[in-house]
Structure 1
Amino acid sequence: MIPWVHLDSAKTGDGAQELRLKRRGSEFSIMLGTNELMNSRLSGSEQALAKLSCQRIAGHRQPRILIGGLGMGFTLRAALAELGKDAGIVVAELVPAVVVWARGPMAEVFGGCLDDPRVAIQETDVGQLIRSGSAAWDAILLDVDNGPEGIVHKGNDALYSLAGLGAARTALKPGGVLAVWSQGPDSGFTRRLKQAGFAVEEVNTRANGKRGARHVIWIATAAGRF
């Protein structure tokens, strides 16, 4: 079996933990301690996050999309495939090294999507972008940490708090969608979405087509704003 090769390390946004980029042949992995956060062979649920969101805003003119977390680019690539030439996508990535990896050792995984004229990368906390504008986005896609129960950066918890969800609702245009990826179910988060004024659909999906780990995507629309 081909062994894993360590390519690089980077501190998480709060500097408290370390991410490690590894490669085995054409396969990449991003690790946090013993936890694998991402693997280039497992992209089904990240792609579903984009497809489900874009389907909900089909027909919006010049849609603006905010993606929280660059990861390995699967959500971004799927969104680009779904959206027209008039769309604009901003990707917020808190760890600058992840962007470096995307343009360097993992460039083949990204397939040039970072150079698409519809894409802008901002090395910042997605929460800051959410709080910076009202009715600014047609869709906000959050693939940050492991979902509402974060393990990478405790500051991410604010995104999934009642206040954070309220800010996301304010940041959405009428008819907009908040979509959230999670490693697993979280009934408390579903309740908070409803408390924040969202109508909620919870979708179960797989990490790799019909196989792999089961993940959850919440599709939330601002109730009463249509």
Structure 2
Amino acid sequence: MSVPPVESAGAVLPSRRDPAEPEVLDRRESAGGEVVLRRRGGHCEVIVNGCFLMDTVDGRSERLLVAAALDGLAAVARPSVLIGGLGVGFSLAHAAAEPRWSRIAVVEREAAIIDWHRTGPLGAFSAGALDDPRVEVLHTDLVAYLAGAGERYDALCLDIDNGPDWTVGAENDRLYGPAGLASAAARLNSGGVLAVWGAQPSAAFELALREAGFTGVRTEEVPVERGVPDVVHLARRA
């Protein structure tokens, strides 16, 4: 095992992380607990019940969530999409920048996050997408919304919590189980695409998708600076 060199006293060392202390911009209480918006350096981050949930450092996998779903709908001239989770806005902004989408619905249960996009710092990352006439923001719980009766979509792009295997809120586990996947399938048009963001690869979730009747199950990875890659799980309603 190599031993790092000992730096001399008083030496100025290169920073291995952003030295800026996080600044709390807003703090709200909701039905799901405490939601906090912080700024660290030039980026924003969202903390839920004391657990880090998302930030604005790197939105590649969130954009891939939408782009990969659209690629799977080449035969549909003007597809519709439901984005589950407004988050920091990367997925929505990417969808709004694509004229092929005829209708873009976004489900977000935290009123604070919607406010931070409409009048707060997160508006810079959703890039005015909430004003797009194709966009409808639904302030509700995604699991409950999918389980109810309603219109169908050509694509569901779901980015809830940290993905199938690592949820901050136990209630979100339902989305990735048999009942949640059945509800998702019921809200897709025939041949529609389900895209699910995850913080790590999950063979167990791929199996769950196949057992729920989805076809063409595959996973695309996005390498990150440290640790396991972010992923997008893709599947199609038969």
TM-score (norm 1): 0.87
Q: Provide the residue aligned with 1:217 in structure 2.
A: 232
Mapped to 1, the partners of 2:169 and 2:52 lie a distance apart of: 15
Runs of 4+ in 1 over 3 A off after TM superposition: 32-35
Contact 1:4–1:22, Cα closer than 8 Å, also in 2: yes
Match of 2:63 among 24, 27, 47: 47
5+ long unaligned stretches in structure 1:
none
Q: Which one has a bigger Cα radius of gyration? A: 2
Q: Residue 134 of structure 1: CA displacement?
A: 6.6
Residue 89 (1) aligns with residue 104 (2)? yes
Deviations 1:56-101 (A, max 9, x none): 11342332211110001101111222342x6101100011101011
Between the two structures, name the one with larger relative contact order (CA 8 Å, sep ≥ 6): 1
5+ long unaligned stretches in structure 2:
1-18
Q: Residue 204 of structure 1: CA displacement?
A: 1.2
| Residues 134 and 118 of structure 1: CA distance in aligned 2, closer, same or farther (over 3 Å) | closer
Deviates more, 1:154-163 or 1:211-220: 211-220
Read off the aligned partner of 2:112 and give its amino acid letter.
A
Contact 2:92–2:126, Cα closer than 8 Å, also in 1: no
Mapped to 2, the partners of 1:46 and 1:165 lie a distance apart of: 20
How many residues get paired? 217
Residue 10 (1) aligns with residue 28 (2)? yes
Q: Residue 135 of structure 1: CA displacement?
A: 6.8
Contact 1:89–1:118, Cα closer than 8 Å, also in 2: yes
| Residues 163 and 64 of structure 1: CA distance in aligned 2, closer, same or farther (over 3 Å) | same
Read off the aligned partner of 1:90 and give its amino acid letter.
A
Match of 2:220 among 193, 196, 203: 203
Deviations 1:29-61 (A, max 9, x none): 112356432111211111111110111113423
Deviations 1:85-125 (A, max 9, x none): x6101100011101011121222222111111110101101
Q: Provide the residue aligned with 2:16 in structure 1.
A: none
Contact 1:142–1:180, Cα closer than 8 Å, also in 2: yes
**Residue 147 of structure 1: SS of its match in structure 2?**
coil
Read off the aligned partner of 2:28 and give its amino acid letter.
A
| Residues 59 and 77 of structure 1: CA distance in aligned 2, closer, same or farther (over 3 Å) | farther
Contact 1:46–1:75, Cα closer than 8 Å, also in 2: yes
Mapped to 2, the partners of 1:143 and 1:108 lie a distance apart of: 20
**Residue 70 of structure 1: SS of its match in structure 2?**
coil
Match of 1:99 among 114, 130, 138: 114
Mapped to 2, the partners of 1:90 and 1:117 lie a distance apart of: 11
Q: Residue 13 of structure 1: CA displacement?
A: 4.4
Superposition CA RMSD, Å: 2.0
Contact 1:66–1:91, Cα closer than 8 Å, also in 2: yes
Mapped to 1, the partners of 2:204 and 2:29 lie a distance apart of: 30
Contact 1:141–1:180, Cα closer than 8 Å, also in 2: yes
Q: Residue 155 of structure 1: CA displacement?
A: 1.5
